[in-house]
Amino acid sequence: MWRDKDIKNVDFRSMKGKTAKIRANTALFGALLVFIGAICFSAKAVMVKMAYRYDIDGVSLLTLRMMFSLPLFVGVMAWSKYREGPMRARLSRRDWTAVALLGLSGYYFASLFDFLGLQYISAGMERLILFVYPTLVVLISALVYRQPITKVQLMALSLTYAGITLAFIGNIKLTGGSTFWLGAGLIFVSALAYAIYLVGSGRLIPKLGTLRYTSLAMTIAALMIVAHHGVVYQWRLFHYPAEVYYLALLMAAVATVLPSLMVSEGIRLVGSSHAAIIGSVGPIATIALAYIFLDEKMGWLQWLGTIVVIGGVLLISLRKNEE
């Protein structure tokens, strides 16, 4: 037990200052994790476009990415099991079905349509279309769960799709629009599949935890993609140039597993509202990386559309987090 004179000697101001400093450092570290994670996610489209220079099809490239990612996510799953121990929640048959279906939506269909769409449109445009998934989450929630769309959300939706329209017009002026609409449609379906995954995940993540749920969903999707390749291409995967495998490995580690863990931890440290703001660097990062590595150029309409889309998505994300 402390005596009165011991309590009087405690410098509470110093303790308060140290606590504030620790919190500030934690928030800074969390923000840095989200920032780097968003940039790593953004690099995926650029790596895919670089790999396509070596005459590989989208399904084979996606299969290589998932094959390299699979051991890493199995490792994450094992670590999650070790960390949770006896507190680990048991999955019912219904839970397994839900995880499997959502994993296929979020990481099989979404990834497949994304890789196919990147054969026809630029990396910058791909990231911009994918970035509308929060607006799709709002619309799906309104349709499925009868959640009313507020005035702020309606304004954000209008902003987002006005920005997409501007970017579309700018892209067609630059490219002539030969196969642009096919690629844009495929990417939009990818964003829709990912939005469905997010809407369904909201009820499973609290039970399973982020790491366990994500690793399970990714593992199921990876096995499905490998099976898909076996049916269509009989697993002919080992005749490509070495550069393809280097890029696939980079996609798996740097643009898939690592950013997934970094963003999840960053959200835990700084909160989803701040993470939404920091994560808006994604489309800009893709545009910058595509300019450096792919020599992709953006017209003023595309830049304007990008800024408007980011504003609309931020408005929806922040409003959703406040609620």
Residue 201 pLDDT: 81
Considering the domain boundaries, does residue 6 fall inside one? no
Mean pLDDT is lowest, of 104-108, 166-170, 190-194, 225-229, for 166-170
Question: For every residue of 60-120, which 3-state class applies, written as one string?
Answer: HHHHHHHHHHHHHHHHHHHHHHHHHHHHCCCCCHHHHHHHHHHHHHHHHHHHHHHHHHCCC
pLDDT above 90: residue 59: yes
Considering the domain boundaries, does residue 12 fall inside one? no
Considering the domain boundaries, does residue 8 fall inside one? no
302 and 171 Cβ atoms separated by less than 8 Å: yes
CA dist., res. 199 & res. 136, Å (int)? 10
Which domain does 76 fall in, by range?
41-322
| Percent of the chain surpassing pLDDT 70 | 83
State pLDDT tens for residues 226-253: 999 999 999 999 899 999 999 999 999 9
Per the structure, the count of domains in the chain is 1
CA 228 to chain centre: 23
Number of DSSP helices (H) and strands (E) in the chain, helices first: 16, 0
Considering the domain boundaries, does residue 33 fall inside one? no
Considering the domain boundaries, does residue 222 fall inside one? yes
Position 60: which residue type? S
pLDDT above 70: residue 272: no
Q: Which residues contact 28 (CB under 8 A, 6 or more apart)?
A: none
Q: Which two tokens stand for residue 135?
A: 């607006």
Considering the domain boundaries, does residue 220 fall inside one? yes
Considering the domain boundaries, does residue 11 fall inside one? no
